[in-house]
Amino acid sequence: MKVYSIFSSGVFLVLLCLITVEGKKSPTGRHTCRKGLLSQVTENLYIKATSLKSSIPKDLIKNTRLLKKTTKVLFMTNCRVRDELLSFYMKNVFSHLGAGRDKLYIISAFQVLQTNMNACLPCAPSTRLTSAVKKLKKTFLKLGEKGIYKAIHELDILLPWIQAYIRTIL
């Protein structure tokens, strides 16, 4: 148990160091694109997502999906959809979980992903949600607390999308 705790703390410290380095801006005042960091953070997210999923109730809603195939196409081609989807997970899903290292790590990792994706391919800011994320959010809210569990279990869908997108910019 001590070894796991030490390892978890070590991984967490590495992420904090990466976030600190990530927070630095180029001389132009913008964040720099760090593609290698994107891949590394995504790989670590798989491990933390597995741990997080094992700590929550199973997703028993089989006839509803939050992350649809059409959303994947938009995720791969539309920077606003990517940005809104990552924000949705940070603000609407992970914020409802109890405190813990996995939650803190995942929120930090999603922030790193969002910042780096925007640095690699900047996106014009908008105050309106895209229709794809609006529909996802509506379904999520309709499911209530079960929507949180569904969204977390669908990380198995979202993380491969993120990895596929990262491969397109590498």
Q: Give the number of C-alpha atoms closer than 13 A to the C-alpha of residue 151, restricted to the C-beta side.
A: 27
In Å, the largest CA–CA distance within the chain is 50
Cα 23 to Cα 26, 29, 111, 139, 146: the distances in Å are: 10, 11, 11, 34, 34
Residue pLDDT, tens place only, 81-105: 999 999 999 999 988 877 667 677 8
Tell me: the pLDDT tens digits for 6-47? 445 444 444 444 444 444 444 444 567 777 788 888 888 888
Give the rounded distance of the alpha carbon of 119 from its chain centre.
16
Identify the DSSP state of 89: I
Side-chain half-sphere CA neighbours of 85 within 13 A:
29
**Which residue bears the tokens 């741990």?**
51
- pTM passes above 0.85: no
